[in-house]
């Protein structure tokens, strides 16, 4: 589990998203991955995260992998 603060640039004010277990060890509700965070930031910068790819070892990869999604609940 981790905490991340995002302000301005299309983020809703006063929003808390997700919950951890009782001891703050694991995400319990609305789990967000690093890929989701990257997809959201790229979306706020006006980029389509699904089209942003890089080639490595002859294969195309996405920064947000195939499971990354924009967290629409925190964007305005």
* Any domain includes 18: no
The pair of structure tokens assigned to 64 is 């947000």
* Any domain includes 57: yes
Instruction: Write out pLDDT tens, residues 36-60.
Output: 999 999 999 999 999 988 899 999 8
- Residue 39 belongs to what domain range? 33-74
* pLDDT at res. 59: 92
* Any domain includes 21: no
* Any domain includes 49: yes
Please enumerate in sequence order all residues whose Cβ is within 8 A of that of 48, keeping only pairs 6 or more positions apart, or say none: 42
* Any domain includes 56: yes
Yes or no: say if 26 and 20 are a contact pair by the CB < 8 Å rule: yes
Yes or no: say if 36 and 27 are a contact pair by the CB < 8 Å rule: no
* Any domain includes 69: yes
Domain count within the chain = 1
Predicted confidence band of residue 3 (pLDDT cuts 50, 70, 90): confident
E strands, the chain, in order: 19-20, 27-29, 53-56, 59-62
* Any domain includes 66: yes
Give this prediction's pTM: 0.82
* Any domain includes 45: yes
């Amino acid at each position: 589990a981790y905490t991340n603060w995002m302000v301005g640039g299309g983020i809703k004010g006063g929003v808390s998203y997700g919950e951890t277990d009782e001891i703050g060890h694991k995400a319990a509700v609305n789990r967000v991955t690093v890929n989701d965070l990257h997809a959201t930031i790229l979306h706020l910068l006006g980029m389509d995260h699904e089209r942003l790819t890089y080639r490595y070892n002859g294969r195309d990869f996405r920064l947000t992998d195939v499971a990354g999604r924009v967290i629409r609940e925190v964007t305005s």
